[in-house]
Amino acid sequence: MVERHAVAGTGAFEDEGDRVFVEINELEVAVFRIDGEYHALVNYCPHQGAPLCEGELTGESTVDEDWNWTYDETERNVRCPWHGWVFDVTTGESTDAERYRMPTYDVEVEDDTVYVLR
Amino acid sequence: MSRTAEKQIELSELAIVDADSHVSQGAPELVPYIPDRYSGARKMIEISEHPQREVYSYGRASPPFANDSGNVRSQGDFSNLRADTPEAKRDVMERFDIERTVLTPGQNVHLAGVNNDDAAAALAVAYNDWIRETFLDADDSFYGTLSIAPQKPQEAAEEIERVADERDIVGVQFPVAGLTPPAGHRQYLPIYEAAAKHDLPIVMHGGNSNSQGVFPVQRKWSETFLEDHAFTFPAGIMWQLITVVMRGIPERFPDLDFVLQEAGIEWLPWMMWRLDDHYLQVSFDAPALDKQPSEYIEEQFYVTTQPLGHTDNTRHMAMALELAGGADTVMFASDHPHPDFDTPEELFENLRSRFEPEDIRRMMGETAADVFGL
């Protein structure tokens, strides 16, 4: 059964990319502010067990038809601090391989308090 | 794993396809077929007393296949052995019960080493008319890969357009030994576009005869042919594979197949694991990819078996073949008439220790028939 767990006040997320870690039933989760929205991602990398959400936030490069590299500055991906695997914080999906996807959780805000549903 | 396959299938039951079998071919055969628009290059080739060296830029660390006391050294070029006529090729096919053969050029495999771009283009065009007239028209069991000069990508694309629809032309032989820049470079896009348009696989053959100065197959400090040959064939193809995959050529052309000839197969799973590891750690460097490198390789790459390598443990060899992709990837090749050729039996005996009859049929011929559209 999903329960609601208080994480912090909205004041802890003043800037884009701010994050707060919380332990919920022995599982560490990080709540990020990305593009004005709150997203919760498990703090675990499937590669070798690193604390994934302690990594830097990053955008993403693409190549267009004319072989030009462009960089999307929207920093919604977290780069694992150990080996650099990259996951989209908003979906939990690896940006590079479909088979890797980490759990995400719904987030609610009520009376200036941020809650994770798990 | 099944050992029952040994009782269920015999070599004589199989429709064998040879996915890499050379014709003997150098400049002299092609000169009469060089069209007038390349008259300058034609004259250059004509006046050369040693076109193998002076046009194709051949060189070796030491005499090739020194154990072979026969024609190899006396003719100076092992690509000139017993594959100079349709009859000679047909004889070897009958002897080893090979049903259909995909013919690979001789010296035109090394077209990337031709210093004069016009000469390279002339030799490619001439080859495509020569191979059809001398071999492909002579026997319905012969198929061929067409020749292109990567020095002139736009002309190469036009050449693909010119001959792609011929029934017996089943692939584009992209000469990569000593190729600079490597095959993943954007300048070759017209070649890939034309091949994809005509549903012809891109075929890359290991080699080094003319690549003594080029990464990763330069041979300085190789004291012997053995040292040089053992390293450079797979190493050269590995470099091409890496650049083609990581720069997104298979991503751009998802229906385009690639065939790697004479570069070994046992390294392929290692390379897939290595590339996936690098990709996941440094995906910033591969923005063209939408999935792991191994997925492109599994879906779009094929490898031919000769030289299979030697081990007394056939089960280990069979495991390596399975790891390389098995029947989805592996295709028998003889490399006739070269001294390191493999017979069909050499592959078959290794396959029997592990694979089901259906997979054996595919690796001995059906997969090649599918890829090349025979």
Task: Report chain B residues whose CB lies below 8 A from the CB of A61.
Answer: 284, 287
Among B52, B54, B31, smallest CA distance to B43 is for: B31
For residue B170, what are the CA distances in angstroms to A70, B163, B164, B211?
A: 37, 10, 8, 27
Note whether A9 contacts B: Cβ–Cβ < 8 A: no
The alpha carbon of residue B60 is apart from the nearest alpha carbon of chain A, in Å, by 37
For residue B157, what are the CA distances in angstroms to A33, B154, B204, B259?
A: 51, 5, 16, 18
The alpha carbon of residue A73 is apart from the nearest alpha carbon of chain B, in Å, by 13
Yes or no, beta carbons of B287 and A60 under 8 Å apart: yes
Give the full edge-to-edge strand order of the sheet including A4-9.
A4-9, A113-117, A107-110
Could you give the count of Cα atoms lying within 13 Å of B77 in the half-sphere of its Cβ? 23
Does ipTM top 0.90?
A: yes
Note whether B187 contacts A: Cβ–Cβ < 8 A: no
Write the residue in B186, B288, B291 that is nearest to A97 by C-beta.
B291
The alpha carbon of residue B291 is apart from the nearest alpha carbon of chain A, in Å, by 5
Q: Where are the beta strands (DSSP E) in chain B?
A: 16-22, 98-104, 142-147, 169-173, 202-205, 258-261, 301-304, 330-331
What mean pLDDT value characterizes chain A? 96
Please say whether the beta carbons of B111 and B175 come within 8 A: yes
Q: How far apart, in whole angstroms, are the C-alpha atoms of residue B119 and residue B107?
A: 13
Q: Where are the beta strands (DSSP E) in B249-337?
A: 258-261, 301-304, 330-331
Shortest CA distance from A79: residue in chain B: B281
Shortest CA distance from A61: residue in chain B: B287
The alpha carbon of residue A95 is apart from the nearest alpha carbon of chain B, in Å, by 8
For residue B284, what are the CA distances in angstroms to A60, B10, B182, B213, B244?
A: 7, 50, 21, 31, 17
Q: Which residues contact B320 (CB under 8 A, 6 or more apart)?
A: B265, B266, B269
Yes or no, beta carbons of A83 and B281 under 8 Å apart: yes
Note whether A50 contacts B: Cβ–Cβ < 8 A: no
What is the block-wise mean pLDDT of chain A (118 residues), using blocks of 10 residues? 95 97 96 97 98 97 93 95 98 96 98 97
DSSP conformation class of A2: -
Please say whether the beta carbons of A78 and A65 come within 8 A: no
Structure tokens at B275: 């590339």
Task: Report chain B residues whose CB lies below 8 A from the CB of A60.
Answer: 287
Yes or no, beta carbons of A63 and B280 under 8 Å apart: no
Yes or no, beta carbons of B283 and A83 under 8 Å apart: no
Q: How far apart, in whole angstroms, are the C-alpha atoms of residue A100 and residue A78?
A: 14
For residue B54, what are the CA distances in angstroms to A87, B1, B51, B76, B143?
A: 54, 52, 5, 14, 30
Task: Report chain A residues whose CB lies below 8 A from the CB of B291.
Answer: 96-98
Note whether A84 contacts B: Cβ–Cβ < 8 A: yes
Yes or no, beta carbons of B283 and A86 under 8 Å apart: yes
**How high is the pLDDT of residue B75?**
45
**How high is the pLDDT of residue B215?**
85
Yes or no, beta carbons of A61 and B289 under 8 Å apart: no
Yes or no, beta carbons of A84 and B281 under 8 Å apart: yes
The alpha carbon of residue A6 is apart from the nearest alpha carbon of chain B, in Å, by 34
> How confident is the prediction along chain B (374 residues), in pLDDT tens digits per residue?
455 555 589 999 999 999 999 999 999 999 999 999 999 999 999 999 999 999 999 988 888 888 775 544 444 444 445 788 999 999 999 999 999 999 999 999 999 999 999 999 999 999 999 999 999 999 999 999 999 999 999 999 999 999 999 999 999 999 999 899 999 999 999 999 999 999 999 999 999 888 788 888 888 889 999 999 999 999 999 999 999 999 999 999 999 999 999 999 999 999 999 999 999 999 999 999 999 999 999 999 999 999 999 999 999 999 999 999 999 999 999 999 988 899 999 999 999 989 999 999 999 999 999 999 99
**How high is the pLDDT of residue B2?**
52
Estimate to the nearest angstrom the gap between the alpha carbon of B299 and the chain centroid.
Answer: 18
**How high is the pLDDT of residue B73?**
44
Yes or no, beta carbons of A84 and B291 under 8 Å apart: no
Q: State which amino acid sits at residue B305.
A: T
**How high is the pLDDT of residue B74?**
44
Yes or no, beta carbons of A83 and B279 under 8 Å apart: no
